Amino acid sequence: MQDLLEVKNVTKAFEKTLAVNEVSLGVPRQSIFGLLGPNGAGKTTLIRMITNILVPDSGTILLEGVDNPQERMYKIGYMPEERGLYKKMKVGEQLLYLAQLKNLSYRDAKDKLDFWLGRFDIKDWWNKKVEDLSKGMQQKIQFISTVIHEPNLIILDEPFSGLDPVNSNLIRNEIYELRERGATIIFSTHRMEQVEQICEQIALIHKGEKILDGGLHEIKNQFKENIFKIEYEGVLPDLAGIPFTIYEQAEQAISLQLKAEESPNDILQYFVDKGTVVQSFNEILPSINQIFINQVGGQTDE
């Protein structure tokens, strides 16, 4: 199936700095896509080009196979890292205004707004000014403004920064819910551990260039180092003369690294033969953070 969003050889320079350099990406339909990279890697610039806030110097961006920047704006919901609303405007008016800017008719906007305010159980906020709401409340309003026009593609830049655990969970559940209903989500962050929990597909960006992309599991498998972890009861046999490389040793656990020609069964066989009581046996896949650090040679701009 064709990817929902295709970014092809996109480049953007500010004066002499290449913010985004020949980046190509494919975001599959109904996926949760992680756009990863440290601060200053070019994620925001790339997103701004996808949302048509900036125009690429070269390259094309296709949504549903079409290169139409104006149409694209109406089909994307974007929540920037720096959140913002008109402080003096009332909640209802503000959301209606933002929804209409996304090409919704007044009537549609009103219906959708009723739905969302009902869903979050905040219908009585209609006439409240944004400046009178707490930060968490404002985040909800911001989220509604992002998804009210039922975009095909939802782009969330650091969506969990500054959220308390309750709202964080709420937004996470909404993300899954929206995906179920057919939306595709791009999730940009520099916090790699969040990605592993949520994303299926990722792309790593560093200094304006894409380092790697693909399915989360494929990438992890691609970069696995054949490390297996055994948890055991009792004592280990004498480790002198063990035919495997010891990677790490902990209390009641040991991690071993296999050579390419060896199989995980060889490890199990060895310990079973020695009479060790094995409680669990797992392959240890590298974290995205490790992969990233390996790829860029440990240098980030943070």
Partner 1 sequence: MNKIWLIIKREYLSRVRNKSFIITTLLAPLSLILLFGLQFFILTQTTDKKSILIKDDSGLFSEASGEHVRIKLKDDAGLFFKGSNLDLEELQSGYAEMGYDGVLHIPSVSNMQNIPSPTYYSDRLLGMASRMSLENKLENVVENIKIEEAGLDKNMLERLKASITIREKTGGEEGAEASSLIASGVSFILGFIMYMSIIIYGTLVMRGVLEEKTNRIVEVILSSVKPFKLMIGKIVGIGAVGLTQFVIWIITAGLLYVAAGFLMTMMMDPETLQQMANGSAGMGGASPPMDADEMQVKFAQMMDKLQSVNWGFLAVAFVFYYLGGFFFYSSLFAAVGSALGEDSSSSDSQALVMPITVPVIISFFILMAIIDNPNGGLAFWSSIIPFSSPIIMPARIAFGLSPFSIDFFLSVLCLVGGFVFTTWLAAKIYRTGILMRGKKVGVKEMVKWLRY
- 64: Cβ contacts below 8 Å, ≥ 6 apart: 2, 4, 75, 152
Q: How far is the CB of 202 from partner 1 (least distance, A)?
A: 23
User: Could you say whether residue 97 binds partner 1 (CB under 8 A)?
Assistant: yes
Q: What single string gives the DSSP state of each residue in 67-102?
A: --HHHHHHHEEEE-SS----TTSBHHHHHHHHHHHT
User: Could you say whether residue 82 binds partner 1 (CB under 8 A)?
Assistant: yes
Q: How far is the CB of 15 from partner 1 (least distance, A)?
A: 8
On whether the CB atoms of residues 65 and 6 are closer than 8 A, the answer is: yes
Backbone angles phi and psi of 24, in degrees to 5: -125, 135
24, 100, 161, 287: which one binds partner 1 (CB under 8 A): 100
Between vectors from CA 163 to CA 200 and to CA 292, what angle results, nearest 5°? 40
User: Could you say whether residue 98 binds partner 1 (CB under 8 A)?
Assistant: yes
Residue number, 50 or 267, with CB nearest to partner 1: 50
Residue 11, amino acid: T
Task: Read off the tokens for 275.
Answer: 């009479």
User: Could you say whether residue 53 binds partner 1 (CB under 8 A)?
Assistant: yes
2, 39, 101, 263: which one binds partner 1 (CB under 8 A): 101
Q: How far is the CB of 231 from partner 1 (least distance, A)?
A: 49
Measured distance CA(73)–CA(17) in Å, rounded: 26
Q: How far is the CB of 161 from partner 1 (least distance, A)?
A: 13
Residues engaged in binding partner 1 (CB under 8 A): 14-15, 48, 51-54, 73-74, 76, 78-80, 82-89, 97-98, 100-103, 145
